[in-house]
Structure 1
Amino acid sequence: MDARLRISALLTASTLALTLAGCGEDDTSAEDPTPAGSTSSPTADSTSSDEPDPADPSATGSPDEGGETTVPVYFAGETPQGVRLYREFRRVDGDPFTAAAELLTTGDALDPDYRSLWPGGTFASVEAQDDAIVATLADEAWTERGDLSANGARLAAQQLVYTLQGVAQERLPVRVVDSSGTPAPLFGLEGDLTAAAPLEVLALVSVSGPEEGATVADSFTAAGVASSFEATVPWEVRDSGGKVVVDGFATAEGWMDKLYPWASEVDVSGLEPGTYTFVAMTDDPSGGEGFGPTEDSKTITVE
């Protein structure tokens, strides 16, 4: 076995030990080492990679001149490791915590490949306090697990934790309370909710830009985060029939231990105007013997 395949085998074994494999539409099969509902604080290494991408100037969380705020919202999507979370940056009006939570709970994603694990409902309020982000339940509908599996409930809780911590730009725990301000369970999970390690709940590659439905001309900068073999993030532009018409790769700032930012210039000046799909993926050194590459795709229009 050559060195590349030996490394691939080690990575596959490591991934099997760490990942939450999907068990149905809203499910994952393995236990989280740092499950939602834990009162322990995440380490810096387990969360620092999920700060806004340095290559993405919109990932600031500060209101722009029009009064809108850019917030990260985490939605669920399919990956070779099962259901994982993908980040989508959205511009919202009004209170960013409330707006981001509403996008999450309603599943109002721009990307049709994304969805929410949450059943219908809404929070009465969401606000950052000194020691926690406090989400107040509108009723008791989300206190019990309902139709969610145990692992599906944990991943749904991670949607909320990652989203609200991203808005706050601080790793505060998320505290769910009832209308009287008394701590309440979320989907049966008791206690303050903290972030699980990114490699356990997030997709191994995601695209922050271009956003779904973007219009581009000549060239554009694609960017996102990934944990991919030897920091290589292959990408493709595919036409409406799925044919690869442009391809290349980005080099992320690191790999294996967490998600790292990546960015690449994509030249589409030679393409006819029309609708295309930009796809970023993880490198697959196993040649199809392992899980296969994780992908994130965005529909774009070339002028």
Structure 2
Amino acid sequence: MLAVLLLTGCIANGGSTPESTSPPAASLQEAPASNAPLETTQASTKIPVYWIGRSKDEVYLYREFRDISGDGNPVTTALRIMMADKPLDHDFFTPWQEPGSLATSISGKNVITVDVSRDAFNSNLDAGMAQRAIQQLVYTATAAASSSGLINSGQQIQVVILVDGHTDFMAFGQVRLGQPMSRDASLVAPLWIIDPQEDNALPPGAVKFNGRTTNSSLPVAWQILQDNGNGDRANLLTGQTKASGEAGQLGVFSFSATLNPGKYEVRVSQVDASGQTDESTTDTRLFRVQ
């Protein structure tokens, strides 16, 4: 039987407000909403959270897994992290502000209702960035519900956003809220690294890298750079790998490298049909081997 969450509220504890971020400009995309694939059930101590990041001239949604403790409402917990915390990856940001109140519920028809106070919207965004911020919330809420087993990932799920209990609020002065929303697949990053996460410390020897791609038919080019100690990074290793999954569909990829102690950066990009690396799909991670 499908688990149903009761509406549960969270009141801000008076912590410091995150520093405001000046997001890069982003154009409003006209692509129709689509039901992008949901996350599968994960370990109960991890929760997926989406952030906004730039890859060359494009602005996409990227996912991180965050450690959590306790048995609170996972959807509320994930959204609270998204609005009040900073991403692990320094290339990502959130335009949301910590809300005074936040509550979520899930209906038996796979509709998540998010009721948030209006102070969460205290950022000045253009139309394109406002669209991405709303989708950031939609992706995070649906990911948290799916990965924690609260909804069936094989079914469509929608999100209704209320502000102080009311519909028709203009989010960031740009997007009207109150109607059911689905994931917009055009806004999620084409490629990202799952492991290691930013600033992870790994043991020396064989290091395995994992990631996901929206198009399994395109090879993934990878590059490992080593910090030379003065802030510069020199190219150490390069290669290509293929993602698993049906051609043209979401897939996962992995590759390994033997590394000595040091500071490193890993970069991954899709390779287009002409064999060229598509820099607009690049994702990076900084990590240490020690």
For residue 74 of structure 1, report the CA deviation from its aligned partner: 0.8
* CA–CA distance in structure 2, aligned partners of residues 222 and 286 of structure 1: 25
Q: Does 1:205 align with 2:191?
A: yes
Distance 1:157 1:108, change over 3 A: same
Question: Which is helix-richer, 1 or 2?
Answer: 1
Give SS of 2:192's match: strand
Q: Quick check: 1:226–1:255 contact (8 Å CA) kept in 2?
A: no
Give deviations 1:187-227, integer Å, cap 9, x for gaps. Answer: 13231221112xx1011110111111222221132111114
Equivalent position to 1:226, from 196, 213, 218: 213
Counterpart of 1:32 in structure 2 is 30
* CA–CA distance in structure 2, aligned partners of residues 146 and 86 of structure 1: 20
* CA–CA distance in structure 1, aligned partners of residues 273 and 279 of structure 2: 9
How do 1:61-210 residues align onto structure 2 when only pairs under 5 Å count? 61-63=42-44, 69-93=45-69, 94-131=72-109, 132-138=111-117, 140-141=118-119, 147-169=124-146, 170=153, 171-179=156-164, 181-185=165-169, 187=171, 188-190=175-177, 191-197=179-185, 200-210=186-196
Consecutive unaligned residues in structure 2, runs of 5 or more: 1-21, 147-152
Give SS of 1:243's match: strand
Q: Does 1:247 align with 2:238?
A: yes
Distance 1:298 1:111, change over 3 A: same
Q: Quick check: 1:284–1:293 contact (8 Å CA) kept in 2?
A: no
Give deviations 1:64-102, integer Å, cap 9, x for gaps. Answer: xxxxx3111111111135211111111212332122101
Give SS of 2:233's match: coil
Distance 1:96 1:229, change over 3 A: closer
Q: Quick check: 1:176–1:185 contact (8 Å CA) kept in 2?
A: no
Give SS of 1:141's match: helix
How many percent of aligned residue pairs carry the same amino acid? 23
Counterpart of 2:257 in structure 1 is 267
Distance 1:196 1:234, change over 3 A: same
Q: Quick check: 2:62–2:188 contact (8 Å CA) kept in 1?
A: yes
TM-score by length of 2: 0.75
* CA–CA distance in structure 2, aligned partners of residues 225 and 122 of structure 1: 35
Distance 1:223 1:122, change over 3 A: farther
Counterpart of 2:224 in structure 1 is 237
Equivalent position to 2:39, from 51, 55, 59: 51
Give deviations 1:132-167, integer Å, cap 9, x for gaps. Answer: 1111122x3357x96211221111011011111111
Q: Does 1:292 align with 2:271?
A: no
Give SS of 1:176's match: strand
Distance 1:100 1:246, change over 3 A: same
Give SS of 1:294's match: strand
For residue 282 of structure 1, report the CA deviation from its aligned partner: 1.6
Letter in 1 for 2:112: I
Letter in 1 for 2:58: G
Give deviations 1:5-45, integer Å, cap 9, x for gaps. Answer: xxxxxxxxxxxxxxxxxxx935432433225xxxxxx44xx
* CA–CA distance in structure 2, aligned partners of residues 287 and 293 of structure 1: 15
Cα root mean square deviation, aligned: 2.8
Question: Which is strand-richer, 1 or 2?
Answer: 2
Distance 1:293 1:255, change over 3 A: farther
Q: Quick check: 2:80–2:98 contact (8 Å CA) kept in 1?
A: no
* CA–CA distance in structure 2, aligned partners of residues 185 and 221 of structure 1: 45
Give deviations 1:31-64, integer Å, cap 9, x for gaps. Answer: 33225xxxxxx44xxx12x535xxxxxxx3442x
Give SS of 1:292's match: strand
* CA–CA distance in structure 1, aligned partners of residues 145 and 61 of structure 2: 18
